[in-house]
Structure 1
Amino acid sequence: MTVTETSRGTPPAAAQAPGALPRLTSLSHGGGCGCKIAPGVLTELLQRNVPPAMPAALLVGTETSDDAAVYQLNDEQAIIATTDFFMPIVDDPYDFGRIAATNALSDVYAMGGKPIFALAIVGMPINVLPPETIREILRGGEAICAEAGIPIAGGHSIDSVEPIYGLAALGVVHPKRVKRNSEAIAGDVLVLGKPLGVGVMSAALKKNVLDAAGYRRMIEATTRLNRVGPALAALPGVHALTDVTGFGLLGHTLEMCRGANLAAYVRMSDVPVFDGVRELADAGCITGASARNWTSYGHDVVLGERVTARDRALLCDPQTSGGLLVSCAPGAVDDVLAVFRADGFAEAAIVGAMRPGAPGVRVI
């Protein structure tokens, strides 16, 4: 069997033959954006008594937990810089590389920019994985960057205990087109570009209960570039953008609320969820990151009486290479949905709205 035969929509077999190569997911303690440090722990780690002084040209830094840093070069150009990497979320090395690269480039698109090149971040257990497996991971990342129209121009590698792959990505944007996660306006409508459930599907994959159709859905979603970002940023009614990744829909909505000093509501019945994910969640395929997310920010969330434990798990589900979350004026909703659907995001949906009030989310 070649290293790519399990790709193209078929999850690996549950059993592992004697002497066979180890499953990539068996080599890591967590996978994809579920590896992220819990938001509450991260906040504690990043606390400073006196914030460092920032240059005026740094348009976006660490102040609002945004998706990338943005530095203005001149009146027409600003540079976007971001990095993202993680351990395997799937066992096929080519798919792992594609997912990691798609996820990393999403941060550039979420700022309203276009990527221009990337650098590879590679950590591999050299004595465990053969060279052909590692080459497939790199090839997957290169394939996505080629789809985005950019080169991987270099990188850095180490011999590590767990497999790690990702990108440092650079992009460009007009300074007036930068879309922060912190500029939502009361009355804005929230639109989500991709359904939820990647974390649940990844947990099912590890338990060998994800069928071929579910695996195909997972790969199709996590390797779909969020390249609609610049087109969304060009719409005058779009006020804020972010992408939904490791902190789940609730966590990234809360970042929007805190940045804008607003409240939000999310209507659970309107939140798109991948086919089969609810059933997998009911069967116990929930990630530990979902629970850690809730522990970190649940005190800022009010759940309605009809919101179930499964609903809560899905709203906190870590999304690897998840969808863009748009905060836009009501009059811009049709244009936002049209941009999404023109690029193949057929399940993009209105999921809630921003309201005056203390930062927090109410789920109804």
Structure 2
Amino acid sequence: MDRKQPASPLQDSKRQKELEFKSVLGKRFLLQKPMNSSKFLQGKRPDWMKKIALPAYREICTELGDPWEVEFSGWCLDGKQDAIEEYIEAQDDEVGEILLQRGLASACEGGRAHVARYLLQKGAKVYGRAVELACRRCDLALFEVFIEHGWHPNQQVPWARGGFGVALPHCTSDIRVVKFLLAHGADPNVGPFDFRKIHGSSITPPLDRCSGAALNKAAARGNIEVIDLLLQHGAVLEHSMPLHAALSGWPQNRPTFVHLLRLGADPNRLISYDYGTLWEMGTPLLWAVRNHNWDAVELLLEAGADPSNLTADISSVYTGIHNPDKSSAETFMALVEKVKEKKNNSPRNEP
């Protein structure tokens, strides 16, 4: 069956609704100017000047939509997977992302886990609306499907000012779902933002489960005790850039810097962005050289920082265009040789 072209009566109905909507909207536009004039702003307006009511927005949107898209959502809601598969095959598997996402939401609304799994296999993505609907139903089967396709229980559902939060608090009425979410890493300490903690009126972005913000801030403040405490509770050193952060508070952060190197912080960790200034990027060694922090440079070289990462393009860091500073370049190269000689003369390198 060819599902690509809706029947002509449906097309005629759609066109008729479009014309009716434009006609009413056009009349309102033509009347807007005299209605807003000073003459009509004083006293009671005549009946013929009253605004013409527009048709119901929801009704218009539904009736002007692609008939097959509306029907597709209905199949997903009702769990009619045979019809869904037939429709997608008729499109040569080239179904738009929007249709797949709408279908996923409908499947979740109807509690159709098998349909949700099929749509995710066809390219749909687990997104906020689907999770919200699964939470409303406390639907264990849907959460199992989400986990299969890479969703994590601590992912925040995008919502105005973060009001929804994560799934767990919304599923406490079903002990099976609670156990399942906790078993897959749900954090019982994560929830929506308290309104007193929100600043501005922007939408709260999803939570970053690989953020090194806490470790970076502790390193910038030189707080060794906090760094160790975070690591004991599961913080991942590789998610952060603590050496870069510690350099911002030199020399008071020197003990912290040494501690981080002993913990295994990567002295060659590279910050790289698709956009931004070059001063925001680079390795800890580059940051230290930029600030003529020769103490940190020596520590980094001893810890295994690669001096070859400072390419010819970086020569301007210590030999400025207007004020060449060859002594800085010489200092850097002297430190490289010093550390190299120190390593060669160390006991473990002796035969």
Greater Rg by CA: 2
TM range (shorter): under 0.3
Q: Return the TM-score normalized by structure 1.
A: 0.21
Task: Between the two structures, name the one with larger relative contact order (CA 8 Å, sep ≥ 6).
Answer: 1
Q: Return the TM-score normalized by structure 2.
A: 0.21
Structure (1/2) with the larger helix percentage: 2
Structure (1/2) with the larger strand percentage: 1
